[in-house]
Amino acid sequence: MTFRNRRDAGRLLAARLEELRERGRWAEPIVLGLPRGGVPVAAEVARALDAPLDVLVARKIGAPGEPEIGIGAIAGEDPPLFDRRALTLLGIDPDDLAADVSRERKELHRREDLYRYGRPPLALSGRTVLLVDDGLATGVTARAALRRVRAGHPERLILAVPVCDSRAADALRGDTDEFVCLQPHRYLHAVGIWYEDFRQVSDREVTDLLQHQPAAG
């Protein structure tokens, strides 16, 4: 099964999450989308749950010469989080990636300034936080984002994605209170192949979605 687009995936994911909310007690849920691709998915979830929507900007650190292969990630001002096994296999020292980290930190700040437009991040303490992306491949970016969210002391932290690599999902379960994936695959290969329309999401689309969702709760 493939999803028509991110909005379609978001509606299906929202239906699953609504079922889970009915079975458990969620304290004032907040939905955080991982920009850019996760935000259209998260917007549908926030709409269905009648919850405020915000973003958590995390940036992938790609392998040298293979930028799509995530071997590390950053979120907020936290230090970089690296996949140590991948670094060892590639014979790379974290110091070798200092320039990449600096470049991605600069882009992270640009996106935070653009998407929030002066708004402070939502307070997460004591609330149920749903971190949403359009898919999970290696899991390194999600782990950095989860670490950042956990520092805000939510009562419950849920990672929710339409499609995932089951091995990466298993490795992340200890970082979440609950993990929700509609379609786990043993060998995901690439998130985009599970979408009929996986065109790149623009900054404008992200800001439009945030402006048309409740941003306080």
Q: For the chain, give the mean pLDDT.
A: 93
Strands 178-185 and 156-165: parallel
Rg (CA), the chain: 16
Rounded to the nearest 5 degrees, what angle is found at the Cα of 150, between the Cα atoms of 110 and 171? 100
Sequence letter at residue 186: R
Please give the pLDDT value at position 216.
Answer: 45
Please give the pLDDT value at position 32.
Answer: 98
Residue 93 CB burial class (10 angstroms; 0-12, 13-18, ≥19): exposed
Contact 56/145 with Cβ under 8 angstroms?
A: yes
pLDDT at 217 over 50: no
**Domain at 6-211: CATH architecture:** 3-Layer(aba) Sandwich (3.40)
Domain boundary assignment for the chain: 6-211
d(CA 17, CA 213): 18
Please give the pLDDT value at position 1.
Answer: 80
